[in-house]
Structure formats: C-alpha cells, structure tokens
C-alpha cells in the first residue's frame, strides 16, 4: 500500500515525551531499546511516509542512545536495512565491530537483523530510510563490509545522494502517489550505486573471494533473465558450469535459497510494473505472467505475502483513478 504523509517536513512543534517517543520509534522502525540521561525534559518526534517498499522518516530529538539488542531482535526480526542521514547534530553508529561518526551530510547503512547502537550526544535531526534488505542490489559480501561505515555527503556519489535525500520529503509531499513510488525506486537505485562505489575506493577494490565473485555473477545473470519462464536452478547452474548443489550451498551460506532470490526479484519487478501508469490497462495476470508467474492465483498469493496486499489492490493504491485517468467509453 502506498501512503504519502505530509509529516516529513522539518518542524519543531509537536515534540513528545520520552515514553511517547520511545514507543513511536519502535512503531516506526523495529523494536528498539532507548535510554536518556534526562527523561523529564526529553522531547522528540518521528515523522514519516511510506512510499512503495520504503519507509522514509525524519527523527528530531534530544540526546539519547538507541540500541537494537538480541532481545529486541527476538521480539521481531524483519529483514530490513536502514540508512541514516545526519541532517543536524552528531551521531555515532556502531555495528559489526565498527563505528561511523556522522556529521551533517554524512550517512551510513545498518542491518536490523543484527545488533546496533546509535548514540546522540546533543539535539539532532536525522533522516532514516528503511527498506527490505533484498531490494539493495549490492552483493551480500559487500554489504557485510559496508555496515556502519561513514559515507561523506561531500564527495563522490555521496554528494549526489545527500541532497536528494534531504529534499525527498518535500518532493514526496508535492508529488502524485505514482511519482512518489518511482522516487522511492530511484532512491534505492542511487543508494545501491553509492555503496557499490564504496567498494572501489582509492586503494582499489576490497578483496573478493572466488565464491563472492561467483555469487555476484549468478545474481546478475538472474536479474538479466527474470522474464524467462524457463529460468530455474538447473539452467542457472548449467550456465555457470557448477552443480545444482554447489549453487544451492552458495545461497544457503547467506541464509537464502536460489528459488527464494529469484521469486523476490520477480515480485519486485511486478511491483514496479503495477505502480507504473504506462501499464495501467494491462491485466494484473498479464503482468505476473510477464515475470514468470503463469498461475494468476498463485501470483496473487505470493504478492500479498510479500507486499501486504493483492496485486489489484496495490495497483489501485499506487495509481488512483482520476478524471484524467478514468477510461473513456
């Protein structure tokens, strides 16, 4: 479902107490633990919008520490990445034995499936973009090297991503729901490019094992052939001159399966097509078949499990019928 909120504009009024803010943070993101040195005078607010598959939130608050702990992970463990862009103030993000010190304009990525901590020593404002992990098209081995690493907003692709994210709130507020969905997709593509760039910094590419290189080739091969109904584990393995078992073990090492990866990538292409006004008059079943889902009922069930609504409902929310789009008789 596409929901576009006007609450993402920077504001200072409407700040709430410590307990209310702590509850808002866990509701907006994932279960978290929070501490503050001054509960009595604490004020903060979370404002945001859900756009297609991503959640964009702006957090403004007094100093505090947020922790994603093993206990909160056990409480709820959805597969999400979060990107934190520092707008005002200072933050230290810790995950995977690394620390990223963020000043205004800097950003970093972190994984909600593993413990992390964000420490704010003064009043701050941060823009947080949260999205399913599988949507970031960076090899898993690469992501493992990128969590809690500062990306400067003053050089490279970071200098492109930072102003885009800063202005995204107002762009989404003023955009139609259809445009907002495509803005969300564009953000994910640009963020993926920025992190891919981080893997090829001045000292050269980070070391990559033969297994990592093969995994990257396989996933690229799958993405290029998503519309091929004959694409399966056997054809993928044969194309890379490896056994099916070898292929399966390679994905199992990342807690995934070949068929699961292929299904998610196809469903993501279906989601994009359903939100695209160019395909408004194409039957939902035809869009599913285009990406390998020949059985319409099966496609509808898979899509609802992945995105929370049926393909038809998702399209209706993403492309509202107006007088200008209503079919003529």
Q: Using an 8 Å Cβ cutoff, are 233 and 243 in contact? A: no
Residue 78 and residue 198 in one domain: yes
Q: How far apart are CA 196 and CA 198, in angstroms?
A: 5
Final residue in a domain of this structure, among 161, 184, 204: 204
Which CATH number do you get for residue 268? Answer: 1.10.10.60
Domain end, chosen from 153, 177, 204, is at: 204
Higher pLDDT residue, 90 or 141? 90
Among the candidates 204, 220, 252, a domain finishes at 204
Residue 198: inside a domain, yes or no?
Answer: yes
Contact 95, 102 (CB under 8 A): no
61-74 b/e (C-beta count within 10 Å ≥ 16 → b): bbbbebbbeeebee
215 shares a domain with 195: no
Same domain, yes or no: 231 and 115: no
| pLDDT tens by residue, 41-92 | 899 999 887 776 788 888 999 999 999 999 999 988 888 899 999 999 999 9
**Residue span of the structural domain in which 51 resides:** 6-204
**Alpha carbon of residue 74 to chain centroid:** 21
Selection from 58, 116, 64 nearest residue 87 by Cα: 58
- For 192-243, the pLDDT digits (tens) are 777 777 665 433 444 445 666 677 788 878 888 888 888 999 999 999 888 8
pTM of the model: 0.63
Q: How many CB atoms sit inside 10 A of residue 291's CB?
A: 20
Residue 326 lies in a domain: no
Q: Please tell me whether residues 97 and 245 are part of one structural domain.
A: no
- CATH code for the domain in which residue 149 is found: 2.60.120.10
Query: In the predicted model, is pLDDT for residue 10 greater than 50?
Result: no
The answer to the question of residue 105 being in a domain is yes
């Amino acid at each position: 479902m596409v929901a576009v909120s006007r609450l993402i504009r920077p504001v200072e009024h409407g700040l709430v107490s410590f307990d209310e803010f702590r509850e808002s943070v866990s509701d907006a993101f994932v279960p978290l633990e929070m501490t503050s040195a001054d509960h009595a005078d604490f004020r903060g607010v979370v404002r945001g919008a859900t756009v297609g598959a991503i959640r964009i939130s702006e957090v403004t608050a007094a100093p505090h520490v947020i922790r994603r702990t093993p206990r909160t992970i056990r409480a709820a463990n959805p597969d999400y990445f979060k990107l934190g862009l520092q707008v005002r103030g200072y933050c230290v993000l810790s995950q995977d034995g690394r620390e990223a010190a963020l000043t205004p304009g800097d950003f970093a990525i972190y994984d909600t499936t593993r413990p992390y901590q964000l420490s704010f020593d003064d009043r701050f404002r941060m823009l947080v973009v949260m999205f399913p992990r599988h949507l970031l098209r960076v090899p898993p081995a690469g992501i493992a090297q990128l969590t809690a690493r500062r990306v400067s907003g003053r050089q490279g692709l970071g200098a492109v991503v930072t102003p885009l994210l800063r202005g995204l709130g107002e762009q989404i507020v003023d955009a139609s729901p259809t445009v907002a969905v495509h803005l969300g997709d564009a953000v994910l593509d640009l963020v993926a490019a920025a992190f891919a760039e981080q893997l090829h910094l001045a000292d050269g590419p980070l070391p990559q094992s033969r297994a990592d290189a093969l995994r990257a080739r396989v996933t690229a091969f799958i993405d290029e052939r998503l519309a091929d109904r004959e694409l399966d584990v056997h054809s993928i393995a044969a194309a890379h001159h490896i056994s099916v078992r070898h292929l399966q073990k390679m994905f199992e090492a990342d807690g995934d399966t070949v068929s699961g990866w292929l299904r998610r990538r196809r469903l993501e292409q279906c989601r994009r097509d359903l939100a695209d006004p160019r395909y408004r008059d194409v039957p939902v079943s035809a869009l599913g078949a285009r990406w390998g889902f020949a059985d319409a009922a099966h496609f509808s069930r898979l899509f609802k499990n992945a995105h929370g609504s049926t393909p038809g409902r998702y399209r209706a929310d993403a492309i509202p019928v107006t007088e200008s789009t209503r079919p003529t008789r």
